[in-house]
């Protein structure tokens, strides 16, 4: 009897354990399904499972399906919003209550290229400006602030941004976020600064000869009747010299202004560069101020024909030869060179054996009114605009120009020009 009871107990225990194990397996697979976001399959349906399982699995599956639908909907919306904002020229930024970035469109990434993916980063890591962060805080706090400009330093670069913002509720409605529209004003402000500097420099350059002329004329007006003839001659010569200088500066300024205009007046035609250089070399060798210099021309026959404006290109080489004559001592060599590069472009240069240009000045000599030695430039009739004109003309030919120099060895001004004019390139592209 005892044995029978024991057997029944053992059998019940085995059945109970099997049942438990089955419930455990079902629980584990259900857990996996929830974690993976996939509906739970009813393949293991059996009579040995507790009846509560059927409605439980149905409810969990319904929740998983609804959750998946909502997730898809919100991803679609975010993708749609990002795609729309991505095409905007204005940069758009959305930050949450803890300054985490939730949305940053392409225009914003263009302003701060060093931060490749801005989303989920803290704003403080991208925009290091206490005043901007204060603006963000106040905007989020609901203050209506006018559009404001900020200077943001990023490595070596200083960005100038103009920002307007508005508070927005967070998606769950529990906190306050903020949305900003940002304009990159860096280029515009740089151009404005350049223009301001240019006006200041030009006024200064014009004022100097003008005040000399004014002073001498006033002295002549007051005392020309009593003034000794030689002194009057000297005064008139000074006035003449300064009015020539005034004239030269204004002429060069007009040339630059024309070159910068929408109609720079460049007329491309096929020209033999070697012939142009030879003709210039001959002409300069005959000039009295070039008698003490050695001028040579070396142009490789392969240079052949290029498409360029012959008048403007002659002006480029004349400015460079004039500089070489002005800034090198007697018996210096001035070489006009041209050859073809592997790329097919033409490289030409005016090389002299003069004193050279200090390395610190070299990057600036193409800027308007920049002179290494102000006194020497003025003394030789320089306007400080010659190389700026050269640069403009070369750029209008689709080329580039730069200087190489070594103190005591000489200076080379090198130009690289495409064989065809840039418009032809654009047409064939």
Residues within the interface to ligand ADP (CB under 6 A): 323-324, 327, 352, 354, 357, 365, 370-373, 377, 382-388, 411
- Which CB, 138 or 318, lies closer to ligand ADP? 318
Q: Quote the least distance from Cβ 323 to ligand ADP, whole Å.
A: 4
Number of other CB atoms surrounding residue 96 within 10 Å = 16
- Which CB, 356 or 399, lies closer to ligand ADP? 356
Q: Which of 122, 89, 87, 85 is nearest to 104 (CA)?
A: 85
Q: Quote the least distance from Cβ 286 to ligand ADP, whole Å.
A: 21
Q: Which residue, chain included where needed, has tokens 């801005």?
A: 118
- Which CB, 100 or 370, lies closer to ligand ADP? 370
- Which CB, 105 or 411, lies closer to ligand ADP? 411
Q: Quote the least distance from Cβ 416 to ligand ADP, whole Å.
A: 18
Q: Quote the least distance from Cβ 120 to ligand ADP, whole Å.
A: 51
Q: Quote the least distance from Cβ 199 to ligand ADP, whole Å.
A: 18
Residue 271, sorted as left (phi over 0), alpha (psi -120 to 50) or beta, turns out to be beta
Q: Quote the least distance from Cβ 251 to ligand ADP, whole Å.
A: 12
- Which CB, 112 or 327, lies closer to ligand ADP? 327
- Which CB, 105 or 405, lies closer to ligand ADP? 405
Cβ pair 343, 425 in contact under 8 A: no
In whole angstroms, what is the distance from residue 290 CA to residue 334 CA?
Answer: 10
- Which CB, 126 or 401, lies closer to ligand ADP? 401
- Which CB, 323 or 420, lies closer to ligand ADP? 323
- Which CB, 384 or 398, lies closer to ligand ADP? 384
Q: Quote the least distance from Cβ 168 to ligand ADP, whole Å.
A: 54
- Which CB, 90 or 404, lies closer to ligand ADP? 404
Cβ pair 264, 303 in contact under 8 A: no
Label each residue of the chain as H, E or C: CHHHHHHHHHHHHHHHHHHHHHHHHHHHHHHHHHHHCCCCCCCCCCCCCCCCHHHHHHHHHHHHHHHHHHHHHHHHHHHHHHHHHHCCCCEEEEECCCCEEEEECHHHHHHCCCCCCCCCCEHHHHCCCHHHHHHHHHHHCCCCCCCEEEEEEECCEEEEEEEEEEEEECCCCCCEEEEEEEEECHHHHHHHHHHHHHHHHHHHHHHHHHHHHHHHHHHHHHHCCCCCHHHHHHHHHHHHHHHHHHHHHHHHHHHHHHHHCCCCCCCCEEEEHHHHHHHHHHHHHHCHHHCCCEEEEEECHHHCEEEECHHHHHHHHHHHHHHHHHHCCCCCEEEEEEEECCCCCEEEEEEECCCCCCCCCHHHCCCCCCCCCHHHHHHCCCCCCHHHHHHHHHHHCCCEEEEEEECCCEEEEEEEECCCCHHHHHHHC
Q: Quote the least distance from Cβ 377 to ligand ADP, whole Å.
A: 3
Q: Quote the least distance from Cβ 248 to ligand ADP, whole Å.
A: 9
Cβ pair 352, 324 in contact under 8 A: yes
Q: Which of 350, 267, 280 is nearest to 314 (CA)?
A: 280
Q: Quote the least distance from Cβ 327 to ligand ADP, whole Å.
A: 4
Q: Quote the least distance from Cβ 293 to ligand ADP, whole Å.
A: 12
- Which CB, 178 or 357, lies closer to ligand ADP? 357
């Amino acid at each position: 009897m005892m044995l029978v009871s024991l057997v029944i107990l053992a059998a019940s225990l085995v059945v109970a354990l099997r049942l438990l194990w089955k419930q455990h397996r079902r629980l584990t697979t259900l857990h996996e399904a929830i974690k993976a976001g996939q509906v739970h399959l009813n393949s293991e349906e059996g009579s040995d499972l507790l009846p509560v399982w059927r409605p439980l699995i149905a409810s969990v599956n319904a929740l998983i399906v609804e959750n998946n639908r909502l997730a898809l909907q919100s991803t679609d919306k975010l993708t749609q919003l990002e795609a729309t904002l991505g095409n905007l020229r204005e940069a758009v930024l959305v930050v949450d209550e803890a300054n985490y970035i939730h949305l940053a469109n392409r225009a914003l990434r263009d302003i701060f290229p060093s931060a490749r993916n801005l989303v989920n980063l803290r704003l403080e890591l991208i925009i290091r400006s206490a005043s901007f962060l204060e603006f963000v805080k106040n905007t989020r706090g609901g203050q209506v602030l006018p559009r404001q400009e900020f200077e943001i330093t990023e490595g070596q670069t200083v960005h100038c941004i103009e920002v307007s913002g508005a508070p927005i509720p967070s998606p769950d409605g529990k906190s306050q976020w903020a949305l900003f529209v940002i304009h990159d004003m860096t280029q515009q402000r740089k151009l404005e600064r350049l223009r301001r500097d240019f006006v200041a420099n030009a006024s200064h350059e014009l004022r100097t000869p003008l005040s000399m002329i004014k002073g001498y004329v006033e002295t002549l007006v007051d005392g020309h009747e009593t003034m000794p003839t030689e002194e009057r001659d000297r005064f008139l010569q000074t006035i003449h010299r300064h009015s020539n200088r005034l004239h030269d500066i204004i002429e060069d300024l007009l040339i630059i202004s024309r070159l910068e205009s929408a109609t720079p007046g460049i007329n491309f035609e096929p020209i033999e560069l070697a012939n142009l250089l030879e003709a210039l070399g001959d002409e300069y060798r005959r000039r009295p101020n070039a008698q003490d210099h050695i001028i040579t021309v070396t142009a490789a026959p392969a240079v052949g024909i290029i498409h360029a404006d012959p008048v403007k290109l002659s002006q480029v080489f004349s400015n460079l030869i004039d500089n070489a004559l002005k800034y090198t001592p007697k018996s210096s060599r001035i070489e006009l060179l041209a050859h073809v590069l592997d790329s097919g472009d033409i490289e030409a240069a005016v090389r002299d054996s003069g004193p050279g240009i200090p390395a610190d000045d070299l990057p600036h000599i193409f800027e308007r009114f920049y002179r290494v030695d102000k006194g020497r430039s003025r003394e030789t009739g320089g306007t400080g605009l010659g190389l700026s004109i050269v640069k403009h003309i070369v750029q209008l030919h689709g080329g580039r120009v730069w200087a190489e120099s070594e103190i005591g060895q000489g200076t080379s001004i090198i130009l690289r020009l495409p064989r065809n004019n840039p418009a032809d390139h654009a047409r064939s592209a």
